[in-house]
């Protein structure tokens, strides 16, 4: 999987189910589990969060290195 570009991190409308995310100011990690209507994130610690497309939020894509 390629490294996420700054465009995809800024525009949550391009996020896909299964992508890893993190909180901007902490070590919390999670996965996108739904993207229609709102983005649903299930955090590794068991909680669930919802984010609206186009609204500011403290979540970003986790960068995954490219496999060779």
48: confidence class by pLDDT, cuts 50, 70, 90: very high
Residue 56 lies in a domain: yes
Residue 18 belongs to some domain of the structure: yes
Q: How does 27-64 read in b/e, with b if 16+ C-beta sit within 10 Å? A: ebebebeebeeebbbebeeeeebebeeeeeeebbbeee
50 Rama class: left (phi>0) / alpha (psi -120 to 50) / beta: beta
Identify the band that residue 20 occupies on the pLDDT scale cut at 50, 70 and 90. very high
- Higher per-residue pLDDT: 4 or 54: 54
| Confidence bin at 2 (pLDDT 50/70/90) | very low
* Number of separate domains in the chain: 1
Q: Is the pLDDT of residue 47 over 70?
A: yes
| Residue 24 pLDDT exceeds 90 | no
- CATH code for the domain of 32: 2.30.30.40
In a domain, 67, yes or no: no
14 assigned to some structural domain: yes
Residues forming a β-bridge with 20: 31
Q: Which domain holds residue 38?
A: 6-61
């Amino acid at each position: 999987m390629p490294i996420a570009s700054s465009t995809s991190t800024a525009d949550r409308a391009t996020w896909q189910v299964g992508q890893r995310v993190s909180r901007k100011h902490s070590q919390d990690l999670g996965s996108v589990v739904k993207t229609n209507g709102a983005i649903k994130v299930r955090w590794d610690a068991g909680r669930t969060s919802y984010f609206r497309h186009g609204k500011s939020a403290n979540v970003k894509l986790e960068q995954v290195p490219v496999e060779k």
